[in-house]
Amino acid sequence: MSPKRVKYVLPGLLVLPLYSWGFSYEAPSISPEVESGYEEKPGWSAESFAVAAANPLATDAGYQVLQAGGNAIDAAIAVQMVLNLVEPQSSGIGGGAFLMHYDGSEVRAYDGRETAPQGVSGELFIEDGEPLAFMDAVASGLSVGVPGTLRMLEKAHAQHGQLAWADLFTPAITLAEEGFAVSNRLHTSLASEELLRQDPLASQYYYDADGEPIAVGETLKNPALAEVFRRVAAHGSEAFYQGAVAEDLVQRVQTHSVRPGSLTLDDMSGYEALDREPICTPWQQWEVCGFPPPSSGHLTVMQILGMLDKQPLLEAPLDNGASSSGWLHQFLEASRLAFADRGRYIADPDFVDAPGGDWELMLAPQYLQQRSALIDEMSMGDTAEPGNPGELEVSWASQPEQPEYGTSHISIIDEDGNAVAMTTTIEQAFGSRILSDGGTGLAGGFLLNNELTDFSFEPEIEGEPVANRVEPGKRPRSSMSPTLVFDQESGELVASLGSPGGAAIIHYTARTLVALRDWGLNAQEALNLPHAITLGDGVFVEEGRFAEATIDSLRERGHTVSERELTSGLQAIMRLNDGTLFGGADPRREGVVMGE
Ligand code: GLU
């Protein structure tokens, strides 16, 4: 391991009481000295196993599980529970997740996406005939989907786990009871957050009487979450989906002071995590395996990459100079075309048919050749129309797609070569801004998702039903793109990666794959590159990271360009030719990689 690790894990481990016999956890004392904003990171090497997550305490929990002989699934569970505690704004048991798993021979896709309650209609977000303002919908009971993360992890653990389920909660329970040092990112997210202060539990827990958020480095305990974790550790996910915890969650949604939601106890107890068929797509020497619908991630990423492969080869944009705008232009135009297809076709496959009956038709080489041929010298701007990979009569709708911070990514490769790529979310930062104490009456708790705002607010456009409209029991379309990469020839695992970032997850993931395969960058260098994205209309380039000449040159090609913060939270671990691992964590967030 690189000495950089020492920066995050201070010497002198504090040994805390053990809660189980199979796995002994030592809570490290972690200094939250990582500044928010962009910080160069060195990348991390490891011989046999590695774990990457968005917070050092979470990474460390996964590391300790792997060290104790746990496998990638075990580590993912420990990491997720600690993330729920230390990065509560981004993921947790109140939200949903997609997990890609490789067990040395087979790739599986576990779907823990939230579902719409049975009581919803297609007009969920329509008020007085008009779609609600986005943030009004978010901060409400209406947006809360039935959480899926816990059931999904329980299912994956039943099939692949090695350590006892209960042991995997020990790190999070210990840290919740003993307290953890609040990170910069949590502090700054709380400071800039207005809506969360309106939730009575959250305002008491995260802010002082003057409305100041808990300071960086201050110790925060979460007794409510510790108690919920203890019950789930002892009794499994039933302790969450039924009984006191479920009752509290339902009651908070149903009695929301502004816009109550319809979530019921039956919705909770009826939640099922699903096995999906992963989509594995050849991409020159690699095979890229990703999540199928209800995620639009893999299909859209691979459409972009497939179209790019059909474009004339240009100099890679590594120098941030004017010469790079040619590649950026191709990338942005391919993104526009791919997003047009995404908007039109992709939704929950249990409710909507794939065009032509097969999602992979969207990735057919002839189709992508046709689409790629639409890319011209000048930008098509917002005129990109969906293509017709099959036959389907549904409208497409573009939605407000905002930068989002309510998501986190975990990548793990264990010493037996099993791998996890898991992207986990409560949607917006702090989700629906509803904190549940699980009915414990103790301080703290966990946040409920606002995942239902990932549905189209409008059920129909010009009289045609929208594929991603709200329907009871349906899962909203996602952009999450947890990805496992294999070498086509040897079949060996090459990488595990993914990112948060709302719809821009797709650009972050696609560009990282290009940087790893075509530009020969390592897993850290690839994540350091500046971002450029478009969802169809304007182009956003990462603030302060592109040369003026590049931006001017994009403008000359007809792109409307503005600069803004693009806070990806990429995590990637690659297996190198000599069999060792090299991991990277996004310089824009607090993540680190640990391994041995
Ligand atoms: N809710 C988004 C999705 O599933 C992810 C949000 C984010 O990345 O912050 O696509």
- Ligand 1 atom nearest residue 451's Cα: 1
Atom of ligand 1 nearest to the CA of 503: 10
Task: Tell whether the torsion through CA atoms of 288, 2, 83 and 168 is positive or negative.
Answer: positive
Per DSSP, 194 falls in state S
pLDDT at 218: 94
Task: Assess whether pLDDT exceeds 70 at residue 12.
Answer: no
- If residue 42 lies in a helix (H) or strand (E), which one and from where to where? none
Tokens read off for 145: 């989907």
Q: For residue 499, which atom of ligand 1 is closest to its CA?
A: 8
Q: Output the CA 534–ligand 1 centroid distance in Å.
A: 16
Q: How confident is the model at residue 316 (pLDDT cuts 50, 70, 90)?
A: low
Report the share of the chain in percent with pLDDT over 90: 84
Average the pLDDT over 224-233 and give the result. 98
Does the pLDDT at position 202 exceed 60? yes
What type of residue sits at position 459?
P
β-strand pairing of 539-542 with 561-564: parallel
Lowest mean pLDDT: which of 26-30, 342-346, 491-495, 504-508? Answer: 26-30
CA dihedral 430, 433, 438, 443 (to 10 degrees): 80
Q: Which residue's CA is the closest to the ligand 1 atom numbered 5?
A: 502
Q: Could you tell me if 184 and 590 are in contact, meaning their C-beta atoms sit under 8 angstroms apart?
A: yes
Which whole number is the average pLDDT over 121-134?
96
Residue at token pair 């708790």: 445
Question: With contact defined as beta carbons under 8 Å apart, do 97 and 427 qualify?
Answer: no
Closest-lying ligand 1 atom to the alpha carbon of residue 406 = 9
**Confidence (pLDDT) at 395:** 47
pLDDT at 181 over 90: yes
Q: Which helix (H) or strand (E) covers residue 540, if one does?
A: strand 539-542
Site to probe by mutation for ligand 1, drawn from 505, 506, 535, 570 as the one with most ligand atoms within 8 Å of Cβ, is: 505
Q: Flag whether the pTM goes above 0.85.
A: yes
3-state secondary structure of 547: coil
Q: What average pLDDT does range 224-229 have in this prediction?
A: 98
Q: Calculate how far, in angstroms, residue 121's C-alpha sits from the geometric centre of ligand 1.
A: 22
Q: In angstroms, how far is the first alpha carbon of the chain from the final one? A: 7
pLDDT in tens, 417-440: 999 999 999 999 999 999 999 999
Closest CA to ligand 1's atom 7: 502
DSSP state of 21: S
What tokens were used for 101?
Answer: 């798993």
Nearest alpha-carbon partner for 46 in 81, 4, 76: 4
Mutation test residue for ligand 1: of 478, 509, 568, 588, the one with most atoms within 8 Å of CB? 478
| pLDDT, position 31 | 65
pLDDT of amino acid 382: 82
| Two tokens, residue 235 | 């009794």
Tell which residue, 1, 8, 53, has the closest CA to residue 589: 53
Catalytic one of 59, 149, 174, 407: 407
**391, pLDDT greater than 80:** no
Distance CA 593, CA 596 (A): 10
Average pLDDT estimate for 100-106: 97
536 Cα: distance to centroid of ligand 1 (angstroms): 18
Q: pLDDT at residue 51 above 60? A: yes
CATH 3.60.20.40 in the chain: give the residue spans.
44-278+406-453+472-595
Give me the mean pLDDT over the 388-400 stretch. Answer: 52
Find the 34 Cα to ligand 1 centroid distance in Å: 24
Which ligand 1 atom is nearest residue 480's CA? 10
Closest CA to 421 of 182, 73, 127, 105: 73
For the CA of 297, the closest atom of ligand 1 is 10
Q: Which amino acid is at 267?
A: D
Pocket test for ligand 1, best of 114, 407, 533 (most atoms within 8 A of CB): 407
Query: Which residue's alpha carbon is nearest to atom 9 within ligand 1?
Result: 404
Residue nearest to atom 3 of ligand 1 (CA): 478
Cα(125) to ligand 1 centroid in Å equals: 18
- Among 117-126, 302-311, 541-550, the range scoring the smallest mean pLDDT is 541-550
Q: Rounded to the nearest 5 degrees, what angle is found at the Cα of 475, between the Cα atoms of 472 and 481?
A: 175
How confident is the model over 246-267, as a mean pLDDT?
98
Percentage of the chain beyond pLDDT 70 is 91
Of residues 378 and 138, the one with the higher pLDDT is 138
Q: Is 424 a catalytic residue?
A: no
Name the least confident of 39-48, 176-185, 229-238: 39-48
Span from the CA of 562 to the centroid of ligand 1 (angstroms): 22
Close Cβ partners of 314 (under 8 Å, ≥ 6 residues apart): 326, 327, 330
pLDDT of residue 398 exceeding 60 = no
pLDDT for the residue numbered 19 = 40
Indicate which atom in ligand 1 lies nearest the CA of residue 479: 10
Q: How far is the CA of 478 from the centre of ligand 1 (A)?
A: 6
pLDDT attached to residue 400? 45
What residues flank ligand 1, with Cβ below 6 Å? 404-407, 425, 427, 451, 454, 478-480, 500-502, 505
For residues 228 and 440, the answer to whether their CB atoms sit within 8 Å is yes
**Confidence at residue 16, expressed as pLDDT on a 0 to 100 scale:** 40
Q: What is the pLDDT at residue 33?
A: 58
Residue 39: pLDDT over 90: no
**Residue 386 reports pLDDT greater than 80:** yes
pLDDT tier at 537, thresholds 50, 70, 90: confident
Mean pLDDT of the chain: 91
**CATH number, domain 44-278+406-453+472-595, options 3.40.50.10490, 3.90.1150.10, 3.40.50.2000, 3.60.20.40:** 3.60.20.40
28 Cα–ligand 1 center, Å: 30
3 — pLDDT class (breaks 50, 70, 90): very low
Is residue 158's pLDDT more than 50? yes
pLDDT digits (tens, 9 = 90+) for 62-100: 999 999 999 999 999 999 999 999 999 999 999 999 999
Which of 401, 427, 507, 509 should be mutated for ligand 1, with most atoms under 8 A from CB? 427
In the reported structure, the alpha carbon of residue 23 is separated from the centroid of ligand 1 by a whole-number distance in angstroms of: 33
Helix (H, G, I), strand (E, B) or coil at 24: coil
Between the alpha carbon of residue 327 and those of residues 260, 303, 312, 539, the distances in Å are 47, 16, 9, 14
Nearest CA to ligand 1 atom 6: 502
| pLDDT band at 315; cut points 50, 70, 90 | low
What is the distance between the alpha carbons of residues 569 and 563, in angstroms, rounded to a whole number?
18
Q: Which two tokens stand for residue 457?
A: 């607010």
| pLDDT tens column, 518-536 | 988 999 999 999 999 998 8
Q: Assess whether pLDDT exceeds 60 at residue 348.
A: yes
354 pLDDT above the threshold of 50: yes
Among protein residues, the one with the nearest Cα to ligand 1's atom 1 is 427
Beta carbons of 63 and 46 less than 8 angstroms apart: no
Q: Give the pLDDT mean for 143-156.
A: 98
Question: What does residue 56 show for φ and ψ, rounded to 5 degrees?
Answer: -60, -35
The residue ranges of DSSP E strands in 284-337, in sequence order, are 286-290
